[in-house]
């Protein structure tokens, strides 16, 4: 196992374990994350704030890994984010969605580039429509 894989596994475990000091220690101060819901997030503190927010909204957050890869200084994970929506969910518009109490299991993939033992870029991918459908928040196209 190389450095990128080790750092990716460490940050995933830290976030799921809600140890945000440990998660922060995995990121470079000037790291950049790219997310489907919040766009580009710049800086360690802002990235960890985004990850913390996810576990506040889904306090029983889990991750079911299906694939783990490493190529050079890039680690790639594919799997399912799971959790129960029990707190207000901030939307990109600034509005919040009240807790639905629904359990989700959404497929995702993320790629982390590691330089000097720290994540410098972290791309998160997940299907926003699947996410909203599982929360019961999407509009039915047939109505």
Which parts of 1-143 fold into alpha helices (H)?
A: 3-16, 20-24, 44-57, 128-134
Sheet-wide strand order for 118-126: 39-42, 27-35, 118-126, 103-115, 74-84, 62-71
Give the pLDDT band (50/70/90) at residue 141.
very low
pLDDT at 92: 79
pLDDT at 142: 44
Mean per-residue pLDDT, 33-39: 94
Is residue 46's pLDDT more than 70? yes
pLDDT at 140: 57
Is residue 78's pLDDT more than 80? yes
pLDDT tens for each residue of 86-129? 999 988 788 899 999 999 999 999 999 999 999 999 999 999 89
Is residue 143's pLDDT more than 50? no
Backbone CA torsion sign across 4, 47, 25, 84: negative
d(Cα 25, Cα 129) in Å, to the nearest integer? Answer: 32
Mean per-residue pLDDT, 49-63: 95
Q: Which residue, 1, 22, 58, is CA-closest to 11?
A: 22
pLDDT at 112: 98
d(Cα 132, Cα 15) in Å, to the nearest integer? Answer: 22
Return the domain boundaries, the chain: 3-134
**Domain 3-134 CATH assignment equals 3.40.50.510:** no
Q: What are phi and psi of 101, to 5 degrees?
A: 75, 5
What value does the mean pLDDT of the chain take?
94
Strands 74-84 and 62-71, bridge-based pairing: antiparallel
Place of tokens 């890994």: 65
d(Cα 37, Cα 137) in Å, to the nearest integer? Answer: 15
pLDDT at 138: 80
pLDDT at 54: 93
């Amino acid at each position: 196992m190389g450095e990128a894989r080790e750092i990716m596994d460490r940050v995933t475990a830290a976030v799921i374990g809600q140890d945000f000091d440990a998660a922060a220690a995995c990121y470079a101060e000037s790291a950049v994350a790219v997310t489907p819901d919040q766009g580009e997030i710049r800086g360690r503190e802002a990235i960890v704030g985004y990850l913390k927010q996810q576990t506040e909204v889904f306090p029983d957050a889990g991750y079911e890994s299906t694939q783990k890869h490493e190529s050079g200084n890039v680690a790639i994970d594919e799997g399912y984010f799971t959790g129960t929506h029990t707190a207000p969910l901030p939307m990109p518009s600034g509005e919040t969605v009240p807790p639905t109490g629904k359990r989700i299991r959404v497929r995702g993939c993320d790629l982390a580039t590691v330089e000097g033992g720290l994540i410098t870029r972290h791309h998160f991918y997940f299907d926003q429509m699947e996410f909203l459908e599982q929360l019961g928040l999407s509009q039915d196209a047939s109505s």
